A and B are shown apart, each in its own frame.
Chain A
Amino acid sequence: MTILVIAEHDNAELKAATLNTVAAAAKIGGDIHVLVAGSGAQTVAEQAAKVAGVSTVLLADAAQLADSLAENVAEQVIAIAGNYSHILFPATASGKNVAPRVAAKLDVAQLSDIIAVESADVFQRPIYAGNAIATVECTDAKKVITVRTTAFDAVSAEGGSASVQNVDAVTDSGLSSFVGREVAKSDRPELTAAAIIVSGGRGMGSAENFKILDPLADKLGAALGASRAAVDAGYAPNDWQVGQTGKIVAPQLYVAVGISGAIQHLAGMKDSKVIVAINKDAEAPIFGVADYGLVADLFTAVPELVGAL
């Protein structure tokens, strides 16, 4: 049994999500290969070769693979899919984009967002915004899977010594092209990888008020997050959104400020180790999942908390 893991990267750096996906592959058991599809991605392949547990890194390097267009990346995966029993993608925007395309071309089902591996063909995945956990058996010969990265502890990025092999890149599909990118700037840790997250909701009231979370996040070395209500109201950029339709996070500490705790939000953060809720409404559903709840006005409690740290 050989497992293929599709690397998440930006052509310069291997992203941490790959390490969690390799961890899931290790749970399935078998030889683990990593595919790096990109342009000028030799360094990424070298980083992938050092990842613990990886035996072979396949590098497909070509200009048409630079921007992870689904059409080209899917064809690249299919070109080498014949050798593998399992094909794993991290459940990131990019993994979710490509994995179903690969599965349909192979005429197999795809499993989304697995959170546990029970055997080589039995997995657990959340449904209904995390309100139920389904244990599913995949009956197809090849398993195409996306892995919820927060559910698997990352393997070590060092210690491996895989060989790097070049594979032929597929030709450009010509169906789509990359136009541009607008990257949200942030000096803070990446949301999905942060150990501490401070999140604001509708209760923040405005984009200016949202800034009172800055000193708190600075003190804690935390990433900033937001509920959908805060994002929709324009208080925070949309890639800060934590929830069923945004990012799924599981930090050591999650501080929810002015967030009521709708089920769609809880789906994105309820696996955090410790949850703190600051809300003036004692009836808010967030207190149902919080380890420590503080019923207080956030505009006095947050500065006070910054002072006390």
Chain B
Amino acid sequence: MKVLVPVKRVVDYNVKVRVKSDQTGVDIANVKMSMNPFDEIAVEEATRLKEKGVATEVVAVSCGVTQCQETLRTAMAIGADRAALVQTDVELQPLAVAKLLKAVAEKEQAQLVILGKQAIDDDANQTGQMLAALLGWPQATFASKIEIEGDSAKVTREVDGGLETISVKLPAIITTDLRLNEPRYVTLPNIMKAKKKQLDTYTPEDLGVDVTPRIKTLKVSEPPARKAGITVPDVATLVDKLKNEAKVI
């Protein structure tokens, strides 16, 4: 079974982004970029499936600018066998990415696609579900446990109020939640080996996909700032403030 793992290059999760003063977006020039944390979990899970002999090949794919190659090298250092980059400078929205991934999944004849549940930049939580819809495959989102049983996958999902388990027929789409696994650290020898692995490059035109954005960002602004708070010296003052000043208890 071939597993496809889409990965996204995003601003590192430790960076506190700043909104540009002209309100056209957030300033991401010269900030540290890395692989979206949920995607790392996806690559790890695919690699584990390969180590268990369930998957035969793991292919990482990314859509975006040339620098996404670095993200793909990281995926290959974790364990992906090879990678594909759909290169474009156009701003890509989830629907466009889902269409590109559909083309790649069909080209690669993948049986399983594992994606992160959401990217920490646009916080959309859409691409996996959209890809499933376009391919007409079942979806198992927010997965915290995956068991492949013959021609189906049993997936435990994190839902409001607890967990639920569903069974989906393969081929299928799975999106990862935080607790699915703990991604391994990439080691130096594996980083060196990853440099030699195959990385194909396509353009959206090669795949015949129109990536024109459907959503126009009119402006990006700072969230309303909270008014500065105070430090209270003791519990009695705290209770008094909550009762008489804030009036919330």
Contacts and interface: CB of A to CB of B under 8 A. Distances in A.
Given A176-B138, A245-B118, A103 B130 contact: yes
Given A93-B158, A176-B169, A292 B241 contact: yes
Contact of B215 (A126, A139, A296): A139
A287 B216 contact: no
Contact of A139 (B128, B131, B163, B214): B214
Instruction: Report, as a range, how many residues of chain A touch the other chain.
Output: 35 or more
A81 interface: no
A103 to B, nearest CB: 7
B220 A127 contact: yes
Interface in A112-152: 112-113, 122, 126-140
Contact of A178 (B141, B158, B166, B219): B166
Contacts, number: 249
Interface string B130-161: 11111001111110100000000010011111
A303 to B, nearest CB: 9
Interface in A281-302: 282, 287, 289-296, 301
Contacts of B131: 104
A293 B160 contact: no
Interface in A146-192: 173-184, 192
A135 B218 contact: yes
Which 9 A-B pairs rank lowest in CB-CB distance, beginning with the nearest? A100-B129, A175-B138, A104-B130, A104-B133, A109-B214, A100-B126, A179-B165, A176-B138, A291-B229
A304 B34 CA distance: 44
B167 A111 contact: no
B236 A308 contact: yes
Contact of B235 (A98, A104, A305): A305
Given A109-B93, A176-B168, A295-B231, A101 B133 contact: yes
Contacts of A274: 242, 246, 248
B17 A132 contact: yes
A263 interface: yes
Contacts of A292: 229-232, 238, 241-242, 246
A100 B130 contact: yes
A275 B229 contact: yes
B249 A135 contact: no
B18 to A, nearest CB: 8
A127 B246 contact: no
Contacts of B162: 181-184, 237, 239
B179 interface: yes
17 contacts: A70-B141, A94-B159, A97-B141, A100-B130, A132-B26, A132-B221, A136-B217, A179-B167, A180-B164, A183-B161, A232-B178, A239-B158, A244-B123, A274-B246, A276-B242, A291-B246, A292-B242
Contacts of A135: 217-221
Given A74-B133, A293-B232, A182 B221 contact: no
A141 to B, nearest CB: 10
Contacts of B242: 253, 274, 276, 292
B98 interface: yes
A100 to B, nearest CB: 4
Contacts of A194: none
Interface centre among A176, A179, A274 (most CB of B within 10 A): A176
Nearest to B127: A100
B94 interface: yes
B239 interface: yes
Nearest to B239: A308
B122 interface: yes
Contacts of B132: 70, 101
Interface string B173-214: 000011100000000000000000000000000000000001
Contacts of B230: 291-293
Given A131-B17, A132-B222, A276-B242, A176 B216 contact: no
A305 B223 contact: no
B123 A126 contact: yes
Interface centre among B124, B127, B219 (most CB of A within 10 A): B124
Nearest to A90: B160
Given A232-B179, A308-B235, 11 more contacts: A71-B139, A93-B142, A101-B129, A109-B95, A110-B130, A128-B120, A133-B222, A140-B214, A180-B164, A263-B16, A292-B229
A93 B158 CA distance: 8
Contacts of B219: 134-135
A139 B219 CA distance: 15
B69 to A, nearest CB: 24
Given A70-B139, A93-B158, A139-B214, A110 B13 contact: no
Nearest to A307: B235
A301 B235 contact: yes
B101 to A, nearest CB: 11
A252 B248 contact: yes
A192 B159 CA distance: 13
Nearest to A130: B223
Given A100-B130, A292-B229, A137 B215 contact: yes
B226 interface: yes
